[in-house]
Structure 1
Amino acid sequence: MEILDKIECAGYGSEVSFIYIAFSPVNPESSKYARILSQGIIELREKGRLQQILGKYHLKDWKD
């Protein structure tokens, strides 16, 4: 199962919601996980897949 299959979307309507992803500072693997997440987002964006995913929910890239 890929990480994208493990992410769920919650909420409703057109309300603005902020989502934060955090990694515990006491976990020695946290910086590694943060790099993996950041690189994954970059790759999704470069391949156009991020826009496809966001588009399904009528969202736009937060980098724009």
Structure 2
Amino acid sequence: IRELHAADRRRQTVISELPRTDHRRSTEIIELRTALKGQVTALQAQVTALQGQHGLAGGPTQP
């Protein structure tokens, strides 16, 4: 019975930590998504700059 109580306490500890773990992961996902959006924006700016250098900005692709 002692072992069952100990196992139950361990389970309760894990269960009580789940909301905190979930919040931490959600925060990390938000931070990663924000960083990724910044990288996409930077890449879009680079593509636009390269297209401008080659006279492709806003126009159809040249044969």
Q: Which has the higher contact order (CA 8 A, sep 6+)?
A: 1
Is this a same-fold pair by TM over 0.5? Answer: no
**What TM-score do the two structures reach when normalised by structure 1?**
0.34
Work out which of the two has the higher radius of gyration on C-alpha atoms and give 1 or 2.
2
**What TM-score do the two structures reach when normalised by structure 2?**
0.35
**Structure showing the higher helix proportion among its residues:** 2
